[in-house]
Amino acid sequence: IRFKDAVGRKFSFPWARCKTWKDMQALIDQAFQQMDEVSEHVRAGHYDLTGPDGEIILPQVWDTMVQP
């Protein structure tokens, strides 16, 4: 899964490590761990994830919507 964060950093996450919302959330938390100014907001879930067309993917449907 290709992930671009709010500050423009780009990540590639293996499908097996982010196919569930819980797993994806853990990777996002790790990505922001060293960024004190935003890590608190990330841990609180104050962000949206969007698909390639810009549509927001809700956490409740992540497991069924996202595919490799």
User: Which residues are bridge partners to 57 per DSSP?
Assistant: 49
Query: How many structural domains are present in the chain?
Result: 1
Q: Is the pLDDT of residue 24 over 80?
A: yes
- Span 59-65, mean pLDDT? 94
**What pLDDT, on a 0 to 100 scale, did the predictor assign at position 12?**
95
Q: Is the pLDDT of residue 18 over 90?
A: yes
Domain containing residue 59: 2-65
**What pLDDT, on a 0 to 100 scale, did the predictor assign at position 32?**
87
- The candidate with the shortest Cα–Cα distance to 62, out of 6, 20, 25, is 20
Q: What is the pLDDT of residues 29-41, one digit of tens each?
A: 999 888 877 888 8
Task: Report how far residue 9's alpha carbon sits from residue 58's, in angstroms, rounded to the nearest whole number.
Answer: 22
